[in-house]
Amino acid sequence: AALSRRYWALLRCRVWPEDCERAEKAGAGLLGWSLPLLGQQYLDILTSWYCSFQACCNSGDCRISNNFTGLESDLSVRLHGQHLARELVLTTVKGYLEVPQPGKALALSFHGWSGTGKNFVARLLAENLYRDGLRSNCVKTFIATLHFPHPKYMDLYEEKLTSEIKETQEHCHQTLFIFDEAEKLHPGLLEALGPHLAQQTPKNHRVESPKTIFLFLSNLGGNTINAAVLNLLQARGTREEIKLDQLVPQLQAEIAESTDTGFGHSCLVKENLIDFFIPFLPLEYRHVRLCARDAFLSQGLPYTEAALDQIAKMMVYLPKEEQLFSSQGCKSISQRINYFLP
């Protein structure tokens, strides 16, 4: 019955946007749930069928949800071992989107080892700010090595990227741009992004300024974060006691001094256009177990505590002596559960 109410609430959100607030309240008790893939497919089919003969809101600003209650729940329930990211992302994004005239884009830079949750948090933001999540016309994702692979075509990439940002902002009053592997972006692309992140003077004060969020996801600084966390734990501190100011200065120093990437030497860093550098902490054994549990639940599969332990023990942990941090974070967990299916 609860799941049926959740499906009904989501369907109402899709085809009758004006009723979405009431629909979200009906499904509020299940904010941390993910619908099974098959259920999502049925919902898509039903929505398409209804919209084939009725006027529906298909794209643009009418598909913006800004479900901050859902975002808070998802960050608390589904994100593991990242208390710094959880608090800072929720506070900054909510505060920014609630300001009528923000003046500039909000730029957040996520740093940490692979598998610690950077892409996952970006997806949670898209899912809770837009009804279509990453598929929204107001959300654009760029992967450096995929979308900008050839240095000789950088002029063309810069022109295309600038054009896509402007077109998206014209189409949507609220936009989200995600740059994965940000440390691999060409210096020319980073400089081209500068004007979009800089302070903007609204042309007409009576018109609400467009709101744009830039997310930069990078492995840069991961070793510095891990070393700082290891030192704090060895000093008999607890993970939850780690404060932002204990990590960010060292993280920013490494980014600025890095010679392998142009990110730290770009205008984004030198001109302080990045609003917050957010460290993602290395994941421990207990967090990997929780990721394994979530992987079973997301596929609607039963699990045992023994299976979670076995999956967690399959991962490689570092440093060699302490064996504290998972070298892959939670990556490849979903593939590993196949070994434990009947």
What are the pLDDT tens digits along the chain (342 aa)? 666 776 677 666 665 655 555 544 444 444 444 455 555 556 566 665 555 455 566 667 778 999 999 999 999 999 999 999 999 999 999 999 999 889 899 999 999 999 999 999 999 999 999 999 999 999 999 999 999 999 999 999 999 999 999 999 999 999 999 999 999 999 999 999 999 999 876 555 545 668 999 999 999 999 999 999 999 999 989 999 999 999 999 999 999 999 889 999 999 999 999 999 999 999 999 999 999 999 999 888 999 999 999 999 999 999 988 899 999 999 889 888 888 776
Residue ranges of domains in the chain: 68-200+208-281, 284-338
The DSSP symbol for 122 reads H
Listed in sequence order, the residues at least 6 apart from 297 whose beta carbon sits closer than 8 Å to its beta carbon are 34, 303
* pTM score of the predicted model: 0.83
Closest CA to 48 of 15, 6, 3: 15
Q: What is the CA radius of gyration of the chain?
A: 21
C-alpha 264/C-alpha 50 separation (Å) is 50
| C-alpha distances in Å from residue 319, one per residue of 68, 84, 236, 284 | 37, 22, 17, 12
CB 129 within 8 A of CB 65: yes
Q: What is the largest CA-CA distance in the chain?
A: 65
Strands 174-180 and 211-218 turn out to be parallel
User: Residue 286's pLDDT is what?
Assistant: 96
Both tokens assigned to 87: 């608090």
Q: Could you tell me which CATH class the domain 68-200+208-281 is placed in? A: alpha beta
Dihedral over Cα of 103, 107, 287, 134: its sign? positive
C-beta atoms surrounding 73 within 10 Å? 18
Distance CA 124, CA 303 (A): 25
- C-alpha distance from residue 266 to each of 75, 86, 274 (Å): 31, 27, 11
pLDDT of residue 200: 75
- What whole-number distance in Å separates Cα of residue 288 and Cα of residue 285? 5
Q: Which residues pair with 191 in a beta bridge?
A: none
Chain mean position to CA 127: 9
pLDDT at residue 259, rounded to an integer: 86
pLDDT at 203: 58
